[in-house]
Amino acid sequence: MAASGLESAGIVLNAFPIAINTLELCRDAAKLVGLFLQIKLAYKRWCDDLNFHRLLFTKNLRQLLLPLVLDDDTIEELLLAPGGDCWREERVTRLFEERLGDSYGLYMQYMDGMVQTMDEINRELAVDSGWAQKLMHDQSVRRIEPMET
């Protein structure tokens, strides 16, 4: 079953932080093995590009959502919880389709392209690989553990 326009937007919104976090893990791993200086410029460029496109995408989506008859809390939930229940609400999807009108098909093509691009970025960063999953887990455990005094 194909994702609706809003579900696709949620997929893209969710993919940005995954890619950024994985890129940060790559940086940390490179620092551990003494390779960071060799990849520093590429890392900075990738990180800046991802953050810029995330901001641009979020602003564009907010502009599309604001004129809909949605309360501010629903819009914030859509932007802060990509893939959450709000993205699948029929009323929200219908309003989104009505808002885009004739350009809905073109927007969906754009969304499909964004999903594919983010999939490629995350595949390139090996987000699903065992080492990346272990690093993400190890890093989240370190953040949860209390600091020693």
Q: How far apart are CA 117 and CA 74, in angstroms?
A: 27
**Which of 18, 65, 26, 66 has its CA nearest to residue 42?**
26
The structure tokens listed for 149 are 């005094």
pLDDT at 144: 37
Q: What are the pLDDT digits (tens) for 89-107?
A: 888 888 888 888 999 888 8
pLDDT at 57: 87
93-104 exposure pattern, b = at least 16 Cβ within 10 A, e = fewer:
bebbeebeeeee
Q: What are the pLDDT digits (tens) for 97-137?
A: 888 899 988 888 888 888 888 888 877 776 666 655 555 55
Cβ contact 88:7 at 8 Å? yes
Q: Which amino acid is at 123?
A: R
pLDDT confidence bin for 148, thresholds 50/70/90:
very low
The structure tokens listed for 125 are 């960063």
Number of neighbours of residue 140 by Cβ within 10 angstroms? 11
Number of neighbours of residue 70 by Cβ within 10 angstroms? 19
Q: What are the pLDDT digits (tens) for 46-101?
A: 889 889 988 998 888 888 888 886 788 888 888 887 777 887 788 888 888 888 89
